[in-house]
């Protein structure tokens, strides 16, 4: 994919190091993500990919280095403060409320955008009513329609097949109306058809005028990563090997040695 549609730098990760005891999960990792980009982070197991995502969305606070989002330093901010700035994520292992319906789970993702207070909320009057209507419109018209989950709206999440739960998780992340979306292995555990659907949704979110969401994707399915990424950063044992376009990465001898060479690069589903 050509990179000429990309905007200015949106997220800058600068010399970030993260230690657990004496183990360096990340040591001095730097890269940047540009607006409207799909930026993938790949690397062998234990390379620090999820730690990186956790640092970006604030679940972890790196001991060294800094992270800035839209030119603003966010290294010290808490996750919910980052969420307010438009940062949203999905998890590798599904983190939905299993006993609640699909619609309720997605609505929760909208929580940040609901501003009405406790009094107006309890009598459902004025601002609350307006907000509820807007929320409903947003969720139905943008998310449910986009992700094609009309038929499971009112189903309890715990009863749904895994692939559908993954979709619901993406839906909840989108309810935040993010500008930067962190996707942690969105394709793991999906069958071929579900992978195709999910890859299409990610592209839709990234390309549709309505959304234009920048994505950071951590994923092992090299087929999809190479197909949809604008740029890829490769991590190995907590250090970054390189950042480049998919074709650069495929031809980089260091990457091949550290990661891709071990197994067949295309040991994916295709």
How many chain residues touch other proteins (CB under 8 A)?
A: 16
Residue 15 or 148: which CB sits closer to other proteins?
148
Binding status of residue 24 toward other proteins by CB under 8 A? no
Residue 108 or 146: which CB sits closer to other proteins?
146
Among positions 1, 94, 188, 207, the unique one binding other proteins when judged by CB under 8 A? 207
Binding status of residue 208 toward other proteins by CB under 8 A? yes
The contact mask relative to other proteins for 186-205 (x = CB under 8 A, - = no) is --------------x---x-
Least distance (Å) from other proteins to the CB of residue 127?
Answer: 22
SS (H, E, C) the chain: CCCCCCCCEEEEEEEEEEEECCEEEEEEEEEEEECCCEEEEECCCCCCHHHHHHHHHCCCCCCEEEEEECCEECCCCCHHHHHHCCEEEECCCCCCCCCCEHHHHHHHHCHHHCCCCHHHHHHCCCHHHHHHHHHHHHHHHHHHHHHCCHHHCCCEHHHCCHHHHHHHHHHHHHHCCCCEEEEECCCCCCCHHHHHHHHHHHHHHHHCCCCCCEEEEECCCHHHHHHHCCEEEEEECCEEEEEECHHHHHHCHHHHHHHHCCCCCCCCCC
The contact mask relative to other proteins for 119-158 (x = CB under 8 A, - = no) is -----------------xx--xx--xxx-x-xx-x-----
Binding status of residue 73 toward other proteins by CB under 8 A? no
Residue 14 or 204: which CB sits closer to other proteins?
204
Least distance (Å) from other proteins to the CB of residue 23?
Answer: 43
In the complex, the residues that contact other proteins under the rule CB under 8 A are 136-137, 140-141, 144-146, 148, 150-151, 153, 200, 204, 207-209
């Amino acid at each position: 994919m050509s990179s000429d549609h990309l905007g200015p730098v949106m997220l800058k990760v600068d010399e970030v190091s993260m230690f657990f005891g004496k183990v360096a999960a990340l040591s001095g990792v730097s890269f940047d993500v540009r607006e409207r980009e799909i930026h993938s982070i790949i690397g062998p197991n234990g390379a620090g990919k999820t730690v990186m995502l956790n640092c970006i969305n604030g679940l972890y606070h790196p001991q060294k280095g800094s992270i800035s989002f839209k030119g603003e330093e966010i290294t010290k901010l808490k996750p919910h403060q980052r969420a307010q700035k438009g940062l949203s994520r999905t998890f590798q292992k599904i983190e939905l409320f299993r006993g609640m319906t699909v619609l309720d789970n997605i609505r929760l993702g909208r929580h940040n955008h609901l501003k009405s207070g406790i009094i107006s909320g309890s009598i459902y009057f004025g601002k609350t009513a307006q907000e509820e209507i807007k929320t409903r419109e947003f969720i139905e018209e943008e998310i449910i329609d986009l992700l094609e989950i009309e038929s499971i709206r009112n189903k309890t999440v715990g009863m749904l097949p895994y692939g559908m739960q993954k979709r619901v998780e993406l839906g909840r992340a989108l309810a935040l109306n993010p500008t930067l979306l962190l996707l942690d292995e969105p394709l793991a555990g999906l069958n071929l058809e579900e992978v195709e659907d999910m890859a299409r949704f990610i592209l839709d979110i990234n390309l549709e005028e309505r959304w234009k969401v920048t994505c950071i994707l951590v994923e092992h399915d090299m087929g999809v990563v190479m197909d949809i990424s604008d740029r890829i950063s490769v991590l190995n044992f907590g250090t970054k090997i390189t950042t480049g376009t998919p074709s650069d990465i495929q031809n980089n001898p260091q990457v091949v040695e550290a990661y891709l060479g071990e197994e067949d690069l295309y040991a994916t589903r295709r």
